Structure 1
């Protein structure tokens, strides 16, 4: 699809959701446009679902989600360009609509916006985090195979490639969060630079305290690999900058406001909000690890059995920051290892349909969906094949539960966020190289794929089934 087609599709989608005036905000994840609409009743869901290039529509988490697939970034850019040409102030519109809501509606709306900001802050760098994790795994493989040494130049350069995105994560998260909040991305990124400055990291490494009040110390914290402090910092930058602009003379704004914002937000993040949120991040990661330790096989089976249902409703992106927090805080994620198997299962089900069918159009869609799933993206398999025949989706969910159970039983761990077949290097231990963990991951991946394939081939599909033209719009979970 060329750029003109993306522009045409974007124009039709904007019209379908009620026009530019009905859009409060729009973000995107790997496969979906996620609209915040003033009035969802204005959206013409049936018309949008029939558009070439649209896989389906989902309403969840206060968002109106249009499933696009791999071309979502191009369509998103076209949508943004067309909305920008309207010359509208989205933030003002959002404030006006807030005034019309009841208290509980406002609480729910703002909570959904918070989730959207967190998701939107992390999403643009997910693929980069995944690539960096794979590089880290390959580096471990090269080192343990004695192809390079950990004191050589090659190791130094490759290690920098794999570590850079994690080291500068506060800068990247801050920049993205500011964009989501319609704030100042560059000024927020500077705050990220402040908290990961080498002198701050050195002080944290030396366990120095910033100040003490009675018996309570305010310690320096290492903020590399951190997420939540910079999301809050982005909000503080926006609020403080807007307030200062309301009364500071325009003649001195260019110099005075950056000084004030860097000084106040930087100090507040280092002294107060940073340590609190880093502590929260650690509790979240350790709490999840504790739950896994209680009964990992059962936990994995339950999570995996229902995880792709979250994907259908677009709720899985609310969990992605939990994975990233695991990697940022612990350096690994057992949960991500479990969820990886659900992607494999969806691909296995779509592959079985493609192999079994005699219908060329279904075979083409099935192979394409399977290939996409094996590369880490399940929506083409789900919306193109599995949900439209229903039984393949059920078979994939059963196989996913089996994969989650075995992942928990073997205690399989993961060091990068990308899963499925393409993500197998993510199971290589960065410290020890290929260990039993990697071979267990390969084994469980094969078993999960085989289970999904066999179940679907035997029970989940035959050519007498009728493919549903479009997936019915799910009910909004908030109304259940």
Structure 2
């Protein structure tokens, strides 16, 4: 605990102090800062700080990799700065993010929205995988009451995904999260879903005709809607008297934004999501070899930059429209390659410190947390990085050729194993085995330049 407290204090100091923090969140291994001035942060000194595995300034975020202790360090950091992440984010993040441009803003928004809801999605995905296993071995029946209860729990997260996304997106865009959740609930109301179920999709509002659609498990409509809502809410607040703000700002926001989503944004978002999903499906079906090779190989590089969050909307869209996804298996190949390469370093290395880092990173990598291996071992050696690319490519090709499917989300390769249970499970095992072996053998054969020899090389 004392070490985490000390580390949090050092990080705050080296990023320019608490006054330089616009917002901060965390994922499984990283503290993700949005800083008011990136130039005040001392990245070089941070990288050499004990307890810090790496520093990445990408996607509009200043990311500090601290490994599995990230939650403890985050809590210590919150205590020391005297703020909660929600208070900071709602208060200051909107204006700060607007200073970012292009892809930085896009990936910053995606990570800020999707990272907080990953635990819920992962838990539901794991449960769906376990249910598939129970059915496969005839340990229960799909008609049993027990199965119905568990299956409903698993489906609920995906069915009501727009509500989760609305809440998370509102925190990111700086508007009221509970009003946003109400918007998500409105478009999922049984009245609307019942109209669609009955086939009466031609509807009108104030004489304006539109097509009623089902928004359960959808992604883009609610994201676009809450993004627009953030501007609408700020506009209303700019002229609304403070004495009336509590009631009339939510009222006007709801009666404007929900119809706009139903009439304009919703159909457009559904159409864009279908185009995105169909486009990837076409590429995957026609050029499986290339898709598997590229994504399997470069996925660890996407993790380093934080760009891997750009895959989440596509995976969610695939799950909502097809009931399964094929991208996660390719990501699993890349993750496994990191674990295999690091294991090769563990067997080859002489330095005790290197072996200790490699051993723990192999275990965490097989579970599905690859940052310790990436920052502790892989990026320090071009040879090891080459082994990762080779192993990821081979595993990705196998996953793509056999079109390995997943029915939910989980840590991979082994942490979320149940989400891959099904007809292609054996090929998933084959893919991760090939990825691990190729990267392990390659890393072991190429060798690893240890820190004590770094100056000679």
TM-score (norm 2): 0.90
1:300 aligns with one of 289, 292, 304: 292
Once residues 188 and 314 of structure 1 are traced to their aligned partners in structure 2, the CA distance between those partners, rounded to angstroms, is 26
Among residues 137, 157, 173, which one is paired with 2:129 in the alignment? 137
Instruction: Check the 8 A contact 2:90/2:171 in 1, yes or no.
Output: no
Unaligned runs of 5+ in 1: 99-105, 429-433, 470-480
Map of 1:451 onto structure 2: 438
Per the alignment, residue 168 of structure 1 pairs with: 160
* 1:441 to partner: Cα distance: 1.0
Secondary structure of the 2:62 match is strand
Kindly indicate whether the alpha-carbon contact (under 8 Å) linking 1:7 and 1:75 is maintained by their aligned counterparts in 2.
yes
**Counterpart for residue 417 of structure 2:** 424
Change beyond 3 A, Cα 1:187–1:33: same
Compared CA separation, residues 403 and 88, structure 1 to 2 (3 A): closer
The alpha-carbon deviation at position 82 of structure 1 amounts to 4.4
Q: CA RMSD in A?
A: 2.8
Indicate the residue corresponding to 2:451 in structure 1: 466
Alignment deviations for residues 277-315 of structure 1 (CA, whole Å, 9 cap, x no partner):
121111111111111111101221122222212222232
Instruction: Determine the structure 2 residue equivalent to 1:116.
Output: 108
Change (3 A) 1:389 1:259: same
- The structure 1 residue matched to 2:54, chosen from 33, 46, 56, is 56
1:248 paired with 2:248, answer no
Q: Counterparts of 1:238 and 1:355 in 2: how far apart (Å)? A: 53
CA distance change for structure 1 residues 25 and 233 in 2, over 3 Å: closer, same or farther?
same
**Cα displacement (A) at 1:28:** 3.1
CA deviations 1:252-294 (Å, max 9, x no partner) are: 3333222222221122112221121121111111111111111
Hey, what does 2:370 align to over in structure 1? 378
Aligned to 2:361: 369
Give 2:12's aligned residue. Answer: 14
Match of 2:321 in 1: 329
Query: Map of 1:130-279 to 2, 5 A cutoff?
Result: 130-211=122-203, 218-279=210-271
Aligned partner of residue 239 in structure 2, secondary structure: coil
What is the rounded CA distance, in whole Å, between the counterparts of 1:327 and 1:412 in structure 2?
14
* Whole-angstrom CA distance in 2 between matches of 1:337 and 1:6: 34
Report which stretch shifted further, 168-177 or 244-253.
Answer: 244-253
Give structure 2 stretches of 5+ with no counterpart.
none
2:163 is paired with a residue whose SS is helix
In structure 1, C-alpha distance between the alignment counterparts of 2:40 and 2:123, rounded to whole Å: 40
Q: Among 379, 397, 410, which residue is 1:405 paired with?
A: 397
Matched pairs, number: 450
2:23 corresponds to which residue?
25
> What residue number does 1:75 align with?
73
Q: CA deviation at 1:340?
A: 1.0
> Quick check: 1:415 aligned with 2:407?
yes
Q: What TM-score do the two structures reach when normalised by structure 1? A: 0.86
